[in-house]
């Protein structure tokens, strides 16, 4: 815990807790933001990608709560100004006017910034947990990191036009002509 700009870190566990509290705030904010991203999506595939990741994000929050328990602490939120800013960028895309397909691309642009931020954070915290000998925690953090990475890849494939590619896919090879 600590006020912004007023931290005291005497060991790596203090830092681990701080990083978990920051992520706990970030995930809570995302749980509020993702339904709005889904609602603003024109493509039904993009909408369902956001809703799927909303479910995963609820799981990320629960995993963090388990980790606080494991460390003998109450789950606490440390305001994450970076995530507030990323979500603000997302809401500007939600409010954007213009072509529906381009606006979907704008939602993806904002969402991928969020996923990369989470990937950076979870990678760091996983390494801290490893260094502190919390092997179970490190594995759980890696699981979340993998889900953030998969969400990011999914968004890339939607941005690359996976929707159109699927619609245009020719008959499977092997069918006789
Ligand atoms: Fe997450
Ligand atoms: Fe995420």
> Ligand 2 centre and the CA of 177: distance in Å?
45
**Residues around the ion ligand 2 (C-beta < 5 A):** 118, 148
| Angle, alpha carbons 92-93-99 (nearest 5°) | 135
Contact indicator for 128, 12 with CB cutoff of 8 Å:
yes
Contact indicator for 115, 155 with CB cutoff of 8 Å:
yes
What is the value of pTM for the model shown? 0.88
Q: Which residue has the tokens 């490190």?
A: 138
Give the range among 30-34, 114-118, 148-152, 165-169 with minimum mean pLDDT.
165-169
d(CA 162, CA 145): 23
Report the chain's C-alpha Rg in angstroms: 19
* Residue-wise DSSP of 89-133: HHHHHHT--S-HHHHHHHHHHHHHHHHHHHHHHHHHHHHHHHHTT
Query: At 96, phi and psi to the nearest 5?
Result: -65, 150
Closest among 147, 112, 145, 107 to 127, alpha carbons compared: 145
Query: Does 173 score more than 50 pLDDT?
Result: no
Who's near 121: CB < 8 A, 6+ residues apart? 19, 22, 23, 26
> Ligand 2 centre and the CA of 122: distance in Å?
10
* C-alpha distance across the termini of the chain, in Å: 68
> Ligand 1 centre and the CA of 171: distance in Å?
37
Contact indicator for 90, 37 with CB cutoff of 8 Å:
yes
pLDDT tens for each residue of 57-98 = 999 999 999 999 999 999 999 999 999 999 999 999 999 999
How high is the pLDDT of residue 172?
A: 46
Contact indicator for 35, 54 with CB cutoff of 8 Å:
yes
> Ligand 1 centre and the CA of 163: distance in Å?
25
Residue 34 confidence class, pLDDT cut points 50, 70, 90? very high
How high is the pLDDT of residue 164?
A: 45
What is the average per-residue pLDDT within 150-173? 70
What is the average per-residue pLDDT within 47-60? 98
Residue 36 confidence class, pLDDT cut points 50, 70, 90? very high
Query: Does 4 score more than 80 pLDDT?
Result: no
Cα of 70 vs its chain's centroid, Å: 23
Q: Give the number of the ligand closest to the Cα of residue 113.
A: 2
């Amino acid at each position: 815990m600590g006020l912004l700009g007023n931290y005291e870190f005497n060991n790596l566990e203090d830092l681990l807790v701080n990083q978990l509290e920051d992520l706990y705030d970030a995930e809570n904010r995302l749980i509020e933001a993702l339904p709005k991203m889904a609602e603003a999506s024109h493509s039904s595939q993009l909408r369902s990608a956001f809703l799927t990741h909303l479910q995963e994000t609820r799981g990320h929050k629960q995993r963090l709560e388990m980790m606080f328990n494991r460390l003998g602490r109450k789950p606490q939120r440390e305001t994450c100004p970076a995530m507030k800013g990323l979500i603000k960028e997302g809401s500007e895309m939600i409010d954007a006017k213009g072509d529906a397909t381009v606006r979907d691309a704008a939602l993806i642009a904002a969402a991928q910034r969020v996923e990369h931020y989470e990937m950076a954070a979870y990678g760091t915290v996983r390494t801290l947990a490893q260094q502190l000998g919390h092997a179970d925690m490190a594995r759980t953090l890696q699981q979340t990191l993998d889900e953030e990475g998969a969400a990011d890849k999914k968004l890339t494939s939607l941005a690359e036009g996976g929707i159109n590619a699927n619609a245009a896919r020719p008959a499977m090879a092997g069918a006789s002509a």
